[in-house]
Amino acid sequence: MTRLNGKVSLVTGAAKGLGAAIAAAFVREGARVVLCDVDEAQGARLAEDLGPQAEFLPLDVRHEAEWIARLAEVDRRYGRLDILVNNAGVVRLGTIEDTSEADYRAVMAVSADGTFFGCKHAVPLIARSGGGAIVNLSSINAIQGNPPVTAYSAAKGAVSALTRAVAVHCHEQGYGIRCNAVLPSSIDTPMVRSVAQQTGAARTPAGRLGAPEDVAHLAVYLASDESAFMSGQCLVLDDTASVARSRA
């Protein structure tokens, strides 16, 4: 399949879960994929499994200097970047009353700060490559109240708002860069399973979790030229969770 044939992409949080599924889908569609994560062992194993179109580079998205260094390395190796997927994220349980400062800052640093730095430093490289796409992973928690994950909700709300700002900026500058966000509900990933074990609340109204591939399919569309007229959108992928009748 060739929907992303010849495109160079970078996916954060790619060692497992949604990032791994997106990376695998991109490879199947013909893209060269740079997998980035703090889990170097798992990330390197996955890149090897995915074959010659994939490679792993360590990246802690919380630190702007690391973003600068990794994107410079991508530029040296390939001379371009066409697609950025800001997927890295963490969750810490806590309501607005009991979330600690440390947990709040940890969650914001990965999801909000990491996405900000990724967009900031990838935009010039993608623009120089002739345009492309940024796909940010937000969450249904950005639009629904979910008290046990308050910090995560705030971080993902920031990701959604940033997506719109980046999209409009790139449009106004004529960069040819589209920026969209995916807002999944509960997907069957290690992070969601961990939260579910602690809260007992990780089901859609249909009573099932989504598959990582459900998100990957949408990411492929947003990264491909098929979505050439779509930018600044926050696309909910939730099996009716955001529109279902209240069970109260």
For the chain, the three-class secondary structure string (H helix, E strand, C coil) is CCCCCCCEEEEECCCCHHHHHHHHHHHHCCCEEEEEECCHHHHHHHHHHHCCCEEEEECCCCCHHHHHHHHHHHHHHHCCCCEEEECCCCCCCECCCCCCHHHHHHHHHHHHHHHHHHHHHHHHHHHHCCCEEEEEECCHHHCCCCCCEHHHHHHHHHHHHHHHHHHHHHHHHCCCEEEEEEEECCECCHHHHHHHHHHCCCCCCCCCCECHHHHHHHHHHHHCHHHCCCCCCEEEECCCCCCCCCCC
Mean pLDDT of 149-175: 98
Of 78, 152, 175, 221, the active-site residue reads 152
pTM: 0.93
CATH of domain 8-237: 3.40.50.720
Q: Is there a catalytic annotation at residue 152?
A: yes
Task: Return the pLDDT at 194.
Answer: 64
Task: Return the pLDDT at 204.
Answer: 46
Q: What is the pLDDT of residues 197-231, one digit of tens each?
A: 666 654 444 457 899 999 999 999 999 999 999 99
